[in-house]
Amino acid sequence: MHIHIIMHEAFEGPGAFLSWIEKHQHSSSYTRLYLGDSLPKTCSHFDLLLIMGGPQSPSTTSDECSYFNSEAEQQLIRLAVENNKLVLGVCLGSQLISNAMGGTTIASPNKEIGLFPVTLTEAGKNDPLFADFPETFACGHWHGDMPGLTDEAVIIAQSTACPRQIIRFAPNVYAFQCHFEFNPSTISAMIENCHSELEQEKGKPFVQSIEQLRTNGYNMANKLLYKFLDGFVK
């Protein structure tokens, strides 16, 4: 199994995804857009396309971020889907999948930063990849938007703050608005690089303090991620 990872920023890395890749001795490659890497022109070399998060949105222009090309990423996502590759997006990645599949990213009802409960919908309970998940579980969050829906999209999980946390767009295409991959290292990087955002959003009901972010336990969310990935690649 070869996983290709698109990273928009150095501080939004694969976290627990990398631990899973290494544990199972899968191979991986990267497009680090912030370093000027080019997106793959084909999808023949990978089995799974993993699109990570970032402060951009699908509507961000090249004038606003010179190394971000939303439409080019969406074209790659569509190409991967057409070629029956596994596709998984996190946060911004989930929104890019949404737009590539015909949806429109919209603002979430609430800004959400921290570790908060996520609950499976009835459809989620019946999804084979989530059948062994607890009905409600804690997961990481750092977002203000959420994916749009298509006619085929199925909401797998939601939270009090955001009604679209996990979406299945097709049997091989999932979008995580939430962050299963957070670990102490990724959280530290987020805090360091998004400190002004934390100050601006301080005191909102679904925004935790820096102290809370650092002391949260992300191990259970990581274990659930591994469970999902084990089923996904089968």
Picking from 167, 164, 168, 122, the residue whose alpha carbon sits closest to that of residue 141 is 164
Close Cβ partners of 123 (under 8 Å, ≥ 6 residues apart): 154, 155, 156, 168
Residues 6 or more apart whose Cβ sits within 8 Å of residue 176:
88, 89, 90, 91, 93, 94, 165, 166
Backbone φ, ψ for residue 127 (5° rounding): -80, 125
What pLDDT shows up at residue 189? 98
Q: Which residues of the chain have pLDDT under 70?
A: none
User: Which residue ranges form the domains of the chain, and what is each CATH number?
Assistant: 2-232 (3.40.50.880)
pTM, entire model: 0.98
Six-digit token pair at 109? 């009802």
Pairing relationship of beta strands 173-176 and 166-170 according to DSSP bridges: antiparallel
